[in-house]
A and B are shown apart, each in its own frame.
Chain A
Amino acid sequence: MKAFLKHLLSAWTWRMAWRDSRTHRGRLLLFSSSIVLGVAALAAIGSLGKNLERAVKEQAKTLLGADLALSSRQPFSSAEEQLLTSLGGRQARETSFSSMIYFPSGGGTRLVQARAVGGPFPFYGRLETEPAAAAEQFRLGQGALVEENLLIQFGAKVGDDIRLGKLTLPVIGVLKKVPGESAALAVVAPRVYLPMSGLARTGLLNGGGLARYRVFFQFPQGADAGKIVAANQPRLDHFRLGVETVETRQRELGRAMDNLYHFLNLSGLVALLLGGIGVASAIHVHVKQKLGTVAILRCLGGSVGQTFAIYAGQGIALGLAGALGGSALGVAVQAAVPGAVADFIPFTFQFQTSWPAVGRAAGVGFGLCLLFALLPLLEVRRVSPLAALRHACESAKVRRDPLRWLAGGCLAAAVAAFALGQGRDWRIGLGFCGGLAAAFAVLAGTAKALVFLVRRFLSPTLPFTFRQGLANLHRPNNRTMLLLLSLGLGVFLIVTIQMLQHTLATELMVSGGTNQPNAVLFDIQPDQKKAAAALVRSMHLPVLDELPIVTMRLSSIKGRRIESLLADKQSHIPSWVLRREYRSTYTDHLRDAEKVIAGRWIGQAASSNGPAPISVEKDIARDLKAGLGDEIVFDVQGAPVTGRVASLREVNWRRMQPNFFVLFPPGVLESAPHMNVLVTRVSSGAQSALLQRAVVRDFPNVSVIDLTLVLQTLDAILGKVTFVIQFMALFTVLTGTLVLAGTLVSGHFQRVQESVLLRTLGASRRQIHRILAVEYLSLGLLAAATGSLLALAAVWALAAFVFHVHFVPMAAPLLCALVATPALTAGLGLLMSRGMLSQPPLVTLRNEEG
C-alpha cells in the first residue's frame, strides 16, 4: 500500500497515465460525461432540495403561526397556567367557539366561528386583511375581522357593526388569510376575529359554553419546540393538552411532504448509482483493452504498484474531472432552474446555491465513482508479464481476489451509508439497498441463466447470422453479464422512478387536483334540499355530494355514562373526545375518501328497534376505546340514539369534502333535526360570487362556503410538490439515458475486432449488422423485461411500505422500456459499427493493433 501510494504520488505515474490515455481521451471523456451528469444531478437535486425544503419548512412554520401551540377544551387551570409559564418564550392566546353573529345594519344572523385573539399572534406569517392596515388595528383591539363571504352574504361592509352575544364592535377589515388556521375549520363556519379584550363582554362563555382554548408560543432562535415538548411530555399528557408543533403541522399537511423528501433523496441516489454503473462498465472495458500494455510494462520491469498506480491515476483523474465538471454543471443548472421554470413554480422562493450540497455531491460522487472504478481496476494488479509473450494468459482463470471483495464490500457499504444518510428512516435506506442488491442478484442470475440456456439449446439449424448473434451471448469475452447488469439496472431505476412519480402524482391529484369540490352550501333545511340542488344544476355546476348533518353528543360508551368516564382518571380517554359535539350523517354508501378496515359496512338499519349499525373512524374509535360490537349511545338533541359499532373506517382527511367521525345508516336519524350540506365546484371567483348571490336570494338562511381560499393554499403546496417530482424524475431519466448510452458505447469496442475478422473472412456488412442486431436486441429486450419486472415489484413495495399510497401501475414506462431499450441498444451498437465497417478491414485491424 505504501509502495502504491509512493508510485501514485510520482510525477512519472501521472505523465504515463496521461500518455497512455492519448488515443482514448475522447472515449474517456464520454465515460466521464456519465459521471458529470450524475454528480450534476446530485448537486442540483441537493441544492434545489435544500431550497425547497427550506421554503416548505418556512411555509409550514407560517401555517402554524408559532413554534408551538397547546390547546384545551376547558379554560386553563392554575396548574396548567403554571406549566404554560414555565415553558417560556412569547405567548399569545386564542379562544374559539361557535356563535351566532348578528348584523344590526341588515338584521341577518349566521352561525360563525368566533376567535378571540390576544397577544402578538401570529408570530410567523401575518394576518392578511383588506385593507392591509386592518391587521394592525385588530392587534390594537379596535374591532373585528370578518371573512369576505360573510360580508357578501349579508351585504355588510367594512365599518359596519356586528354583534356577538352582548358585544357590539365595528368590522375593521376583511379577513383574507390567517396563519395557523386549519382549512377544515372554515368549512364548518366563517371565521370572525375579535380582540381578546372583548371576549368577556360577549358573555357567551360565562356559562361554560363549548370552546377551545389555545396558547401559541414563540421560542427564542435556536430553541427546539420538539425538545421542549418532549421534556414536558408527562405534564402535557397529565393535563391532556393538545400539542401542535411545526413538525405536527407538517404531518397534517399530509404524507405528500414526506413523499417529496423521500423522492428527492431517492432521485439523488439513483442518479449517482447510474453514473457509478456507467463508470464501472466503462473502466471495465478500458482495463480489458489495456491488459496488453500492462503486461508489457510488467515485462519491462514495472512493479505491480507502479502499473496499478498508472491506471488508478486515470480512474482518479476521470472521477475528479467528472466530479468537478458535474459540480460546475450542477451549479449552472441549479442557478438557471428558477429562471427557466419560474412560470411553472407555483410559489416564489429565494434560490441560493447550497455550497455544502454541491461540495457533498462532488465528494460523494468522486468517492463512489472511484469505488465503482476500483472493482475493474484491480484486475490490473493481476496481469502476468507472461501475457506479453502469450496472449492466452490474459484470459487465464482469475483466482479469488480478496481486494476485490474488499472493494466490493466498501462500495456496498458506501452505497448503504449514502442511502441511510439520505432517507429520514434508516429502514427505508436499508430497504433501498436491499432492493438494489436483490435487483443486482436477479439480473446477474438472469445473465447466467441466459448464457447457460443459449450455450445448451442454441439450435444449429438457425440461420448463420442468428446463430452467430446468439452465440455471442455465451462465447468467451461475452458482455452478457455486463450489459444485462448495466442496462437492466438502468431500466429498473428509470422505470421505478417514472412509475413512482406517477403513483405519487396520482395520489396528489386525488388529494388536491382540479376535480375537488371548492364550494359548500351549508345550512340547507330539509324542505330546501331539492330546490337548492336544482339551483346549483341550473347554473351548470355539478352536485358533487349531498349530505344531511345531524349534531349529537356522546351519552354513554359500552354502558358507561360520559360523566363517569370524564371523572375517571384511569379511563385514558381524552376529555375533548368525550365532550365534543359530533356532526354525523346518515348514508347508504361510503365515499371515495373512506375505507372500511374492520367489520362490515351496513348501509341500512334493521327494521327492529335494536342498536343502529354505525361506522366509526378508526382514530376516534381508538381514542374512545371502542371496538367492533361495542354500543355507543348518542344524545341527538335530547333524544337518545343507540348505535353498535359495525365497522371501523379509515378516512382520508386530506380530501376537501365533508368527512365524519360517525356514520349512521339511513332509517335512524331522518326524523332528527338536521340540516343538509351540498358540495359543488365552481371554476372561478366570478362563478362563486354568482352562486353566492343566487343562494342568498333564493335561500337566505343557506350559506355558501367558498373553499377557494383554502384550496389555493393547499393547491399551491401540492402543485409545488408535483412540480418537484416531475422535475427530479426528468433529471434522473435524462441522466440515466445518457449513462446508458455511454455504457453501451463503451461496451461496443469489444465487438469490433470480431466483426472485422468476420469481414476479413468475407462476411458482408449486412451480415455483420444482423449479427450485432441479434445480439444487442436480445440483450436489450431481456434487460428491459427483467428491469421492468423488478421495477414493478419495487414500486409496489415502495408504495405499500414507504409512501403508504396506492400502487398505480402505469403501462407507458413499461412499454417504453421494452421498446426503447432494445432499439437504443441495437441502434447505438449499429451506429458505432457503421464507421468501422465502412473501412477496409486492414485499416481497422491496424488501428485496433495500434
Chain B
Amino acid sequence: MTKIRSQMNPSHVTAGPAILEVKHLTKEYASGGAILTVVKDITFSIPAGSTRAIVGPSGSGKTTLLGLCAGLDQPTSGEVRLDGIHLGALDEDGRAGVRNESVGFVFQSFQLIPTLTALENVMVPLELRGEAGAAAKARELLERVGLDGRFSHYPAQLSGGEQQRVGLARAFINRPKVLFADEPTGNLDAETGRLVIENLFALNAAFGTALMIVTHDAELAGRAERVIRLKGGAVVAGA
C-alpha cells in the first residue's frame, strides 16, 4: 500500500459518504476499423454500505462497467473514485493495491484457483498483502458460509454452490469497502442461487460493505436498494 499511498495526492481523495463515484465514464474499443462505444457517459455513485444492482440485456455494457469501477480496466474518458481514490491516476499495480485493500469480487464462474484448497483460496487476498492470521480468518469465514467441513477440498471437489460460497468467503476476507459481483448466481440453480444470495447479503450487512451486483436475476436485483438499468452502454434508469 505504500506505493498506492505515495501515488495519492489531495486532489485524488475526496471526502463524502460515497464509496464509489463514477463520473462521465466512457469506454470505447476499436473493432474492425470502427469505434465501438461499450459504456457511454455514465455517472452514478454508491454510498458506503449500500447496494446497487446493474441490470440490462446482454451486451449492454454491465460487465464492462463493473470492470471499470473495480479498476480492472481503464476508461476511455471519465473517472472512477473508489474510497476517494482516483483510479485513473494510479498505475496497474496501484489499482491492484486498491483492489486488495478495498475491493472484493464474486464471479459468475467462481474463479477459484484450481490448485489451491478452499481454505487457501480464501487466504490469498490477505496473503497478498502479507497479513498474518489469514488462516484463522479464512476458517471463520468458511464456517460462516457453511463450509466448515470443506477446508481442504479443491475446487474440482466442490459443487457449484460450494465453490461460489468459497468465492464469497474470499471476497469478504479483506473486509472490502465495496464488493463487485458479476452474475453471482448465473451458474447456479435457483435453490443454490438463493442460498448464495442469502450469504452475500448477510456478509454485506455484517461488514457494512457496499455491493455492486451485475445480474439478470430479477429477484436478486430486487434485493438491491437501487437498480441501475443499462441499454446500449448507457444508463436508461436508476442512476
Contacts and interface: CB of A to CB of B under 8 A. Distances in A.
A305 B93 CA distance: 8
Given A302-B96, A388-B105, A297 B111 contact: no
A301 B72 contact: no
A536 B92 CA distance: 91
A527 interface: no
Contact of A302 (B101, B128, B170): B128
B60 to A, nearest CB: 15
Nearest to B130: A12
A660 to B, nearest CB: 76
Contacts of A389: 63, 66-67, 72, 107, 182
A296 B103 contact: no
A591 to B, nearest CB: 71
A386 B67 contact: yes
Interface string A14-41: 0010011111100000000000000000
Given A12-B130, A20-B116, A306-B128, A301 B103 contact: yes
B93 A303 contact: yes
A336 B105 CA distance: 58
Nearest to A296: B111
A16 B128 CA distance: 10
B93 A304 contact: yes
A24 B127 CA distance: 22
A299 B105 contact: yes
Contact of B115 (A20, A300, A388): A20
A293 interface: yes
Nearest to A12: B127
B92 A300 contact: no
A293 B73 CA distance: 18
B114 interface: yes
B124 interface: yes
A389 B125 CA distance: 18
B115 A22 contact: yes
A24 to B, nearest CB: 7
Contacts, number: 94
B105 A304 contact: no
Given A12-B127, A389-B67, A849-B156, A303 B96 contact: yes
Contact of A850 (B63, B97, B114, B130): B114
B96 A298 contact: yes
Interface in A1-17: 3, 10, 12, 16
A301 B156 contact: no
A21 B113 CA distance: 11
Interface residues of A, dominant DSSP: helix
A390 interface: yes
Given A298-B96, A301-B103, A849-B156, A386 B73 contact: yes
A685 B125 CA distance: 84
A388 B107 contact: yes
B129 interface: yes
B213 to A, nearest CB: 14
Interface string A267-304: 00000000000000000000000001101111111111
Given A19-B115, A386-B73, A849-B156, A300 B120 contact: no
B14 interface: no
A24 B114 CA distance: 11
Contact of B72 (A12, A16, A293, A299): A299
A19 B116 contact: yes
A10 B128 CA distance: 11
Interface in B79-110: 92-93, 96-101, 103, 105, 107
A753 B157 CA distance: 19
B201 interface: no
Contacts of B174: 301
Given A304-B92, A850-B155, 14 more contacts: A10-B130, A22-B116, A24-B115, A296-B111, A297-B124, A300-B124, A302-B100, A303-B97, A305-B93, A385-B96, A388-B107, A389-B63, A849-B114, A849-B155
Interface of B: 63, 66-67, 70, 72-73, 92-93, 96-101, 103, 105, 107, 111-116, 120, 124-125, 127-130, 154-157, 170, 174, 182
26 contacts: A19-B115, A19-B120, A20-B115, A22-B116, A23-B115, A293-B114, A295-B111, A296-B113, A297-B113, A299-B70, A299-B72, A299-B105, A300-B100, A300-B125, A301-B97, A301-B100, A301-B101, A301-B128, A303-B93, A305-B93, A384-B73, A385-B96, A386-B73, A388-B105, A846-B156, A850-B155
What 7 A-B pairs are tightest by C-beta distance, nearest first? Answer: A301-B100, A850-B156, A303-B93, A301-B99, A386-B72, A22-B115, A385-B72
